[in-house]
Structure 1
Amino acid sequence: MKNKKLEANLSMAVSKVFSGLNMNALKYLLPLWMSPLTGATLRCTFAAAAFWVIGWFMPPEKSSAKDKWLLFLLGALGLYGFMFLYLAGLSKTTPVSSSIFTSLQPIWVFLMMIFFYKEKATTKKIIGISIGLIGALVCILTQQSDDLASDAFTGNMLCLLSSVVYAVYLILSQRILTAIGAITMLRYTFSGAAVSAIIVTFITGFDAPVFSMPFHWAPFLILMFVLIFPTIISYMLLPVGLKYLKTTVVAIYGYLILIVATIASLALGQDRFSWTQTFAIIFICIGVYLVEVAESKER
């Protein structure tokens, strides 16, 4: 069991580090080297193909036709919606701000569980949710548009909406995941997302100067990093951590996204130090921690 826990901790750490760096890599690519719509299409189709190939080398997993169709629809609406909204938002704001709203996902999950699934609203949860939302409001209302964020308010709102959509996706997919395997889920959700992405791209057009001539190696290699590490490897590592670690430990690893994205953004010049952003990060971290601790104690 100790080896399994060590493996789970390493899996979560690597997954979240990749997720943090993903924001900086995408910020470099968007919108100069590819549009948000095209970026979502590339990620969804590449991941769908990769997970089908990986699944051929994995033990077969039992699942019903109904589950597969539900996963497909969930990917077509939820997963694709999340990726498009997130990429569109990131193209207009900074990686640090986008990571702030990504960290709000546990709060949205618990709010939905309270309103739609009649989960108990404890005092600690209410306090945690309130503190987290204050941090989000500070980030939305105080960040100004500049050379690093072309339309900070719109970008932040899109990232906020993407985190809500992803929370819905998490709740629904978790209920299906109890009856099927992780690879089956990844196969069909990303297949659904890929179909939606291809249809939208067919209508709007494929906009990716990264593939145009003369060929540019730097943006191409950064795109390959996004497609392989945060998209494929990160999603493959998550189930390992979720299986052997407590909810609170998983939540704490989520803070790595904020930390990595902040350090990388400041080092690469993709963001500037801001006391209001720091205030927002601290409040959201405290809020998510309180919510996760309350949930862990209930379980």
Structure 2
Amino acid sequence: MSKRTLAILAAIGATTIYALNHTIAKSVMPDHVQPFAFIIFRVAGAALLFWIVSIFGPKEKIEKRDYLRLLVCAVLGMGINMLVFFKGLSLSTPINSSVLVTTTPIIVLILSAILIKERISQRKIFGIAIGLIGALGLILFGSEIRQDAPNIPLGNFFILMNSVFYGSYLITVKPLLAKYHPFTFMKWLFTLGIILCLPFGYREFTEIDFANLPIDAVWSILFVVVGTTFCTYLFNIFALTQLKASTLSAFVYIQPLIGILYATAVGKDNLTILKILAACLVLLGVYLASRKASPNLSGS
């Protein structure tokens, strides 16, 4: 099997894990673990794993001039981003979550135009508008009566904010990823994540009834820590060694499809006309906003 084929399989694996995560993480909250306590599991577990694998990486130190940027990345990517996503997922539904997270490329495009003055073509502006209409449709009209989703519109808003903070993280982190080995960077990023998230999740973490935690909840927590947080990063790093970043980003279109199929198959969510329409609008918007212009249209 060629390295390129393995890279494609790795990219599909990462996307599949992300898609399953919406339902698996949701199944634990809030009956067994509250959302902020879940983040403590996630950042602490991932930090431990990255410190272990960093033994096999180069011996690097973060330069003092990069401390501030590293802290900002931790706040955006390990702090606020994770906190609002899991809080949003606890209030909303797996399908809404899997659809809304795909707005990240649109958010990155908007932030790039604002922060680094990147030019946006008319086609991309049209794509941004369509995608945001789909997202806003879920936020404003996505109310359902569900015991496991007490405030769907607010949850959807938090999930959209997750895309905003994660998009900001992606722009901020780029210089550091080019400078440091991934193991070096991620072990410090998740370590800072523990410090940032502990004040928010400590009380909820102490409320967990570990003695009576069901085995399926334990497996779900392990899936989120090892799979969603650790393995997906390694899969994507390997995929980037053989695939272009634009090729890898195209796999975002698979995530809501797998997420919706899995959530409905296990009976954790149901499709509605609004969800289908919103998903179509978001995916169309992401496609138009992220698609590269052909050579003869590059000046548009």
Could you state the TM-score of these two structures normalised by the residue count of structure 2? 0.91
What is the alpha-carbon root mean square deviation over aligned residues? 2.2
Matches within 5 A, 1:2-21: 3-21=2-20
Is 1:83 the counterpart of 2:82 in the alignment? yes
5+ residue gaps, structure 2, are none
Report the Cα offset of residue 17 of structure 1.
0.5
Distance 1:48 1:262 in 2: 30
Quickly say closer, same or farther: Cα 1:144–1:56, change in 2 above 3 A: same
Partner of 1:197: 197
Is 1:250 the counterpart of 2:265 in the alignment? no
Partner of 1:33: 32
Partner of 1:132: 131
Distance 2:38 2:205 in 1: 12
Instruction: Report how many residues are paired.
Output: 296
| Secondary structure at the counterpart of residue 208 of structure 1 | coil
User: What code does the residue aligned with 2:180 have?
Assistant: I
| Secondary structure at the counterpart of residue 149 of structure 1 | coil
| Secondary structure at the counterpart of residue 91 of structure 2 | coil
Distance 1:62 1:285 in 2: 40
User: What code does the residue aligned with 1:105 have?
Assistant: T
Matches within 5 A, 1:1-299: 3-61=2-60, 63-67=62-66, 70-147=69-146, 148-202=148-202, 206-209=206-209, 211=210, 213-294=211-292
| Secondary structure at the counterpart of residue 294 of structure 1 | coil
Distance 2:61 2:213 in 1: 44
Contact 1:247 1:292 in 2 (8 A): no
Could you state the TM-score of these two structures normalised by the residue count of structure 1? 0.92
Contact 1:72 1:190 in 2 (8 A): no
5+ residue gaps, structure 1, are none
Quickly say closer, same or farther: Cα 1:296–1:92, change in 2 above 3 A: farther
User: What code does the residue aligned with 2:159 have?
Assistant: C
Q: Which piece of structure 1 moves more, 77-86 or 10-19?
A: 77-86
Distance 1:62 1:4 in 2: 31
Distance 2:64 2:114 in 1: 30
Distance 2:207 2:34 in 1: 6
Contact 2:106 2:131 in 1 (8 A): yes
Quickly say closer, same or farther: Cα 1:5–1:67, change in 2 above 3 A: farther
Report the Cα offset of residue 61 of structure 1.
4.8
Contact 2:47 2:191 in 1 (8 A): yes
Contact 1:96 1:261 in 2 (8 A): yes
Contact 2:34 2:204 in 1 (8 A): no
User: What code does the residue aligned with 1:185 have?
Assistant: F
Quickly say closer, same or farther: Cα 1:184–1:69, change in 2 above 3 A: farther
Q: Percent identity?
A: 26
